[in-house]
Structure 1
Amino acid sequence: MKFLSFLVSRLWKALGVILGVVVFNFFLIRLAPGDPASIMAGEAASSDPGYVEQLRQQFGLDLPLYQQLFVYLKGIFQLDLGYSYRNKLPVLDLILDRLPATLLLMGCAFIFSLIIGVLLGVLASRSRYTSRHQWLDSAIMTGALVLYATPLFWLSLLMIIFFSVTLGWLPAFGMESIGAHYTGWARVGDIATHLILPVISLGCFFMAVYARLTRASMLEVMGMDFIKTARAKGVPAGQVIRKHVLRNALLPVVTFAGIQLGQMAGGAVLTETVFAWPGIGRLMFDALLQRDYQLLLGVFLVTATMVVLFNLLTDLIYRFIDPRIEFGS
């Protein structure tokens, strides 16, 4: 019952947050300069004011803002996110077509950054107490600081130049080889090859954060009394690290990972643009240039929903790692 009450409470809060984000984004986008009707008329090589007004009426841009908001909210509850005038397709269809590519990129980057970051953090914290390997701790932390300070787009461009242009090892752009028409495992391997550079580029920043956070958390736990007691009882060092230090040190890492997932969704916009990855980040960038309001609002809604769901999942995992935390808290 506590779990059900916790889940219902979190879902109601999530719904309120998503609704607030939708309303805020609606008014924020309307403040942006530029008239979509004028842009559409320009693409049709027409400057007739009557044609521009016709377009405004067709897409509801002549209505007061509160009426436009009411129409949009009504459409959301009916799973209708509007129509993209630029792509001549429903917004929901466009997003559902691009969403799997973004989820694949974000999921692989998240797993890569979390696993490698935690491993590096554990290695650095253990090396901190070994007089022969303290240099390894300094090397890992210095590398993590460099990756943290490097802009995402700059790192992406450097990797393209080095691994694709100079060495020719990996493809630089796209999700699949154009014209290859691979099927089965050959297609899976082709997508995996194209995925390497975007995943590393997107994951390196977060990997650096997890490495530093894991190291700091483990060093703090290592100084606690119950760890000293376990060592005094003769518990092997590896067992102390795995069962006592790491499990307690992972709590702040898991909490931070849930927050970082939202930032990763924003970082995916830059990564998808640089690597021409066909996800919703690239879709949002194109919609912004084209003043496609409905498509922009749809992408913002889906992104906000993903972030809220990721944070809800983080709460559940947090309580799984530490059973002392009850669902009612």
Structure 2
Amino acid sequence: MNSYFIKRILYLIPTLIGASILIFFLYSLIPGDYVDTDPNLTAERKAELKELYGLDQPVITRYFTWVGNLFQGDLGYSLQFQRPVTEVLGNYIWSSFFVALASLIITWFLAIIIGVISATRHYSLFDSTVTFLVFAAMATPSFFLGLIMIKFFAVDLGWFPAGGMITTGSNFTGLEYFKDLAEHMILPVLVLVMLSVGGLTRYFRTNMLEVVRQDFVRTARAKGLKERVVIFKHAFRNAMLPAITLFAFELPALFSGAIITEQIFNWPGIGAIYMQAFTVRDYPLLMGFTMFIAVLTVISNLIADLLYGVADPRVRLK
């Protein structure tokens, strides 16, 4: 186990190096930069700014400068915000994290329950109804679903705020602040749950259907065990094994933001900032955030492999 862990850590080094090369040079292939997008600057001023930010250097030189800064924990300097990228990410990424974490917990809770019930009641009215609702939710565009939520719950019923993170002009503190924040989170979280619970439900349903047909489940029933014990102690435990890998890959998604949903609900998350950076070609912010997600992805991949070996004794990590 220890040797496997060390090997996987060593494998991360060339993986991250390759990711850094792809990220930097793909963005470098895009013509223009932040300075070129400002029509109010003269040619002389643009030349001064490019020299100041090192944009006039050869691509290879800029890459090694960028990588050297990465080893020091410096993701770059955002030209749009005139602040370090780490500071910009710290200001916006946690807003996306809280929404993503809440939607993740609710989505997995609902998907597990609905998926198990659908599998144990195969082709029943419940299963058919869930299948219809699942595909309906998956086929609905996120912007359309978000607008429906705003129209129904915010405009018509007035139950929840239509957008934003906190009430404009409010000075809430303590529990009042968290209550106001939770009220603004409800609609974005509801939309994200409706968009993602369908596919995850079908995933758990399929896994359960495969497991309940296996010999060890039939043997457990033949021993006279209660159906509840057969389903949740034997079948469900084995059906959850493939989900470990899927759950580990949710780590980057917690920090990547939901671009369309955040735009609709005017939520100040990293997704909206990421799109805005694309518009003005703030490449240091784009590259820094993409590299951050790449690091989280390889780490989550390592965690998934380790957890799979721990959860299933039949898996031997060598």
Fold shared by both chains (TM-score > 0.5): yes
Partner of 1:277: 267
Q: Name the counterpart of 1:254.
A: 244
212 and 255 in structure 1: CA distance in 2 versus 1, 3 angstrom threshold: same
> Residue 39 of structure 1 aligns to a residue in which SS?
coil
Cα separation, 2, equivalents of 1:219 and 1:104: 33
What amino acid maps onto 2:56 in structure 1?
D
Tell me which amino acid in the other structure corresponds to 1:51.
R
Mapped to 2, the partners of 1:177 and 1:249 lie a distance apart of 44
What does residue 299 of structure 2 align with?
309
- Whether the 8 Å CA contact 2:96–2:271 is kept in 1: the answer is yes
Partner of residue 54, structure 1: 48
* Counterpart code for 1:8: I
Shift in CA distance, 277/323, structure 1 to aligned 2, threshold 3 Å: farther
After TM superposition, the structure 1 stretch with the greater mean CA deviation from structure 2, 204-213 or 317-326, is 317-326
Give 1:150's aligned amino acid: T
Matched residue, 2:172 = 182
- 2:85 matches 1:91: yes
Specify the code of the residue in structure 2 equivalent to 1:104.
Answer: F
**Structure 1 residue 137 corresponds to structure 2 residue 127:** yes
Indicate the residue corresponding to 1:7 in structure 2: 5
Matched-pair identity in %:
35
For residues 69-102 of structure 1, what are the alpha-carbon distances to aligned partners after superposition, in whole Å with 9 as ceiling and x for unaligned? Answer: 1111111111112211221111111112222222
| Structure 2 counterpart of 1:25, from 13, 23, 28 | 23
Aligned equivalents of 2:48, 2:14: Cα separation in 1: 36
Displacement, 1:259?
A: 4.1
Query: What is the RMSD of the two structures over their aligned residues, measured on CA atoms?
Result: 2.0
Structure 2 equivalent of residue 36 of structure 1: 34
Indicate if the aligned counterparts of 2:100 and 2:257 stay in contact, CA closer than 8 A.
no
Task: Kindly provide the amino acid, as one letter, of the partner of residue 73 in structure 2.
Answer: L
Report how many residues are paired.
Answer: 318
C-alpha contact (below 8 Å) 2:257/2:270 kept by paired residues: no
Q: Alpha-carbon deviation of 1:245? A: 0.7
Matches within 5 A, 1:60-71: 60-71=54-65
Structure 2 runs not aligned, ≥5 long:
none
Matches within 5 A, 1:72-111: 72-111=66-105
Partner amino acid, structure 2, of 1:13: Y
Contact 2:33 2:282 in 1 (8 A): no
User: Helix, strand or coil: the match of 1:128?
Assistant: coil
Aligned with 1:126 (options 120, 123, 126): 120
Confirm or deny: 8 A CA contact 1:218 1:245 kept in the other structure: yes
- Answer with 87-96 or 176-185: which moved more: 176-185
For residues 267 and 126 of structure 1, the distance between their equivalents in structure 2, rounded to whole angstroms, comes to 35
Letter aligned with residue 28 of structure 1: L
For 1:102 and 1:10, the matched residues in 2 are separated by 30
Supply the distance in 2 between the matched residues of 1:15 and 1:199 (Cα, whole angstroms). 36
> Contact conserved, 2:20 with 2:291, CA < 8 A, in 1?
yes
Displacement of 1:265: 5.7
